[in-house]
Structure 1
Amino acid sequence: MRHIRHDDDGLHIENAAPPEPGPGELLVRTEAIGVTLPVVRKVAAGEPTELGGEVAGEVVAVGAGVSGFAVGERVTGLCFKDGYAEFTVLTEAMASKIPEGASAVDAVALVRAGLVARGAYEAAGHLAGESVLVTAAASATGHIALQLARLGGASRVVAAVGSPDKAEFVRGFGADEVVTYGQENWGEPVDVVLDAVGGALLSPAIAALAPNGRLVAFSSGGGTIQAYDLLVGAKTVIGFQMAMIAREQPARYAAWREGLWDLRGAGKIRTAVAARFPLEDAAKAHELIVSRANLGKVVLVTGP
C-alpha cells in the first residue's frame, strides 16, 4: 500500500505492507482522510508526530471480538497513527457507519469537526438568547459551530477570521457579524466565545466577552490568560477536550455523532470542503492550512 511517512525532512510517500487488525479493530481501505490542525501544527514545527486523523472508507477485515461491524460496510472514525495511508486501522469504539447516500468526503468533513463543534457548544451551556463569537470561524470546525449556535437560538452570531476575504463565506453559514483578528476592537461584547485558535488570540478573545461571559477553549494552540483579565469582568474559561468525551462518555459521544448526521440529513447543517488533494500531495494540503487560506475542511483522497 501507499502511505505517507513523516521525518525531519517533511512528508514523503512510500510503499509499505498493510497493517493487520488486532482485537477490537477494523482494517479500513481508506477513501478520504481529513487533515487536522493539531497534526499540521506539529509537522510544521518539526515535532515528532503520528499522522492520525479522520478516515473514511470500506471495512476489509475485522479483528477478534469485533461485533458491530462487518466486511464491506463503509465507516468513518478517528485513528491515532498511520492515518495517511491507503489502509489503516480503526478501533471499533472510534468507528461509526456512514449513512446511505453520504460519501467518504462528507463523513470526514462532518463527523470529527462536527463533534468538536458540538462539544464546545455543549460546554458553553445555555446559548438560547445569548450572543456567541466563534474564532477560526472559516475552519472545518468553525463553520459548523456557527450553524450550531444559530440552531441553538443564539441572538447574535459573530465570526472571527484571519482576513476580510473570508467574510462572505462565514456569513453564508450563519454569521451576523464578521471581525478580523487584527482589529483593535471586536465590537459589542458577547456572552460566549468558542475559541479554536488559542495562543496570542486568547487575550482579545477574553476582552471580547461581556461581564460574566465565558470562553470555551478547545484549541491545540496553547496560550496564557492573565487572571486579572478574568477577575475584572467576572469572566470564566472552560476547557474542553473531545477525547475525554469519547473515552469516558461513549453513549453521549455516539448520540452527538448520530445527531450530526440527522441534522445533515434534514438539511439543517452543511459542510464545506476547501480542497481535495491526492494522498501523495499531503504536504500541499498541510501548506494550505498553514497559510490559513482554507475555507472548510481539507481532505486527502486515495482514489480518483
Structure 2
Amino acid sequence: MKTVVIKRFGGPEGLAVADRPEPVPGPGEISVAVEAIGVGGVDVLIRSGALAAYGFGEGHIPGGEVAGTVTAVGAGVDPVWNGRRVWAFTGTGGGYVEQAAVAVDDAVPLPDGLSAVDAVTLGSAGVVAHFGLAHARFAPGESVLVRGAAGSIGITAVQLAARGGAGAVAVTTSSPARGERLRELGATHVLDRSGTGGEGYDVVFDVVAGADLPAFLGRLNPNGRLVVVGAVGGQPPPDFGTALMTAFRKSLTFATFSADTVPASERRAVRAAQFEAAVRGELVTVVHEVLPLAEAVAAHRMVDAGEVFGRIVLVP
C-alpha cells in the first residue's frame, strides 16, 4: 500500500511516499480502508524533529486519525464491525496510509450523513475542545478567550463555549477575514495574535503556548484559569511561572490538558455525540482543503505558512 513517511526531519520536503505492506489486524484490532486522514499540528511537530526526544525517528508514519470502512477484524472483535464506516484514532502516528489497523476501542461508528472528511475534521479536535473546557472548569456566563482559534481545535472550542452560555467568547487570529468567519461560529470579540486590547477573561483556552504565554496569564480575571491544550507555537519560556507568582493575590490557575488522560469510554461517548451534533448542524466542521495523500508535502507547507483555517484533509 501507499503511505507517507518522514524520510528526514526538518521541512515538509522531508516527507516521502513509500510502499509498505498492508497491516493485518491483531487481537482486538480492526482493519480500515482509509477514506480520509486528518492533518494535525502534532504531525508537523513530529516531522520537524521537535519531538525526536520522545522516541519519534525517521521512517515514522505521521497521522493520528483516519476515517473509512472496516474491511477485516482481528481475534476477539465482534464481526458486526465488518463493513461499518468508522472514525479511528491511530495514536501518535500511522495515519498517512491507505489501510490502517487500529484498536477497536479507538474506533467510533459514523452516523449516516457524516462524511469521512468531516469526521477527521471533528474527531480529535472536538474531544480536546470539550474536555479542555471542562478541565478549565468553564461555566455558563464566564468569559472565554480562545488563543489560536483558526485551527480545528480552536474553531470547535469557540462553538462549544458559545453553545455553553459563555458571557463572551474572544478569539485571537491573524486577520480580519478570519475574525469574521469566527464571529459566524460564535465569537463575540476578535483580537490580533497578541491579544492586545482584550478585557480580562475567566478562561483562556490556549492552543499555542510559546513565548507569549506569560502575557496571556496576565489577561486572566481573579480566579481565572489558563489551560494549554496544544503547543503549535513551541514551548513557553522557562520562567513563565513567574507571571503566576507575581499575580499571587489573583489566585490564578495554570494547567495543561491532554485527551490521553480521559478514559477511552468517555472519549468515545463524547465523540459519538459530537458526530450526531454535526449531522444535525449544531456543530460546524471547517475544512480548509482536501488533498491527495501523495501531496502531504503541500499540506505541511500550508500549515507551516500559517495559511490554514480549519483542517487540511488527505485522501488516498
Q: TM-score scaled to structure 2, two decimals?
A: 0.89
Q: How does 1:99-118 map to 2 (within 5 A)?
A: 99-118=111-130
Distance (Å, rounded) in 2 between the aligned partners of 1:164 and 1:203: 25
Match of 1:66 among 77, 96, 110: 77
Report the AA paired with residue 292 of structure 1. G
Structure 1 stretches of 5 or more lacking a match? none
Match of 1:270 among 279, 284, 290: 284
- The offset of 1:57, in angstroms, is 0.4
CA contact (8 A) 2:138 2:203 kept: no
Deviations 1:73-122 (A, max 9, x none): 11111103321011111111110101112110011011111111111111
- The offset of 1:204, in angstroms, is 2.1
Is residue 2 of structure 2 the alignment partner of residue 2 of structure 1?
A: yes
Is residue 253 of structure 2 the alignment partner of residue 236 of structure 1?
A: yes
- The offset of 1:261, in angstroms, is 2.0
Report the AA paired with residue 147 of structure 1. Q
Q: Please list every run of at least 4 consecutive aligned residues from structure 1 whose deviation after the TM superposition is greater than 4 angstroms.
A: none
Distance (Å, rounded) in 2 between the aligned partners of 1:135 and 1:38: 17
Deviations 1:30-77 (A, max 9, x none): 000001101112213474354131100011111111127522111111
Distance (Å, rounded) in 2 between the aligned partners of 1:200 and 1:241: 20
Name the counterpart of 1:43. 47
Q: How does 1:63-212 map to 2 (within 5 A)?
A: 63-67=74-78, 69-80=80-91, 81-182=93-194, 185-212=196-223
Q: Secondary structure at the match of 1:276?
A: strand
- The offset of 1:123, in angstroms, is 0.8
**Shift in CA distance, 14/227, structure 1 to aligned 2, threshold 3 Å:** closer
Compare 260-269 and 23-32 and name the one that shifted more. 260-269
Distance (Å, rounded) in 1 between the aligned partners of 2:169 and 2:133: 13
Report the AA paired with residue 40 of structure 2. T
Is residue 236 of structure 2 the alignment partner of residue 223 of structure 1?
A: yes
Compare 168-177 and 48-57 and name the one that shifted more. 48-57
CA contact (8 A) 2:142 2:203 kept: yes
Distance (Å, rounded) in 2 between the aligned partners of 1:164 and 1:179: 9
Distance (Å, rounded) in 2 between the aligned partners of 1:103 and 1:191: 36
Structure 2 stretches of 5 or more lacking a match? none
CA contact (8 A) 1:138 1:169 kept: no
Deviations 1:7-35 (A, max 9, x none): 11611112222111111111111000001
Distance (Å, rounded) in 1 between the aligned partners of 2:207 and 2:80: 33
Q: TM-score scaled to structure 1, two decimals?
A: 0.93
State the identity as a percent: 37
CA contact (8 A) 1:181 1:201 kept: no
**Shift in CA distance, 52/68, structure 1 to aligned 2, threshold 3 Å:** farther
Distance (Å, rounded) in 2 between the aligned partners of 1:197 and 1:162: 13
Cα RMSD after superposing both structures: 1.7
Distance (Å, rounded) in 2 between the aligned partners of 1:50 and 1:222: 24
Q: Secondary structure at the match of 1:40?
A: helix
Q: How many residues align?
A: 298
- The offset of 1:164, in angstroms, is 3.5
- The offset of 1:213, in angstroms, is 0.7
Report the AA paired with residue 274 of structure 2. L
CA contact (8 A) 2:108 2:272 kept: no
CA contact (8 A) 1:68 1:92 kept: no
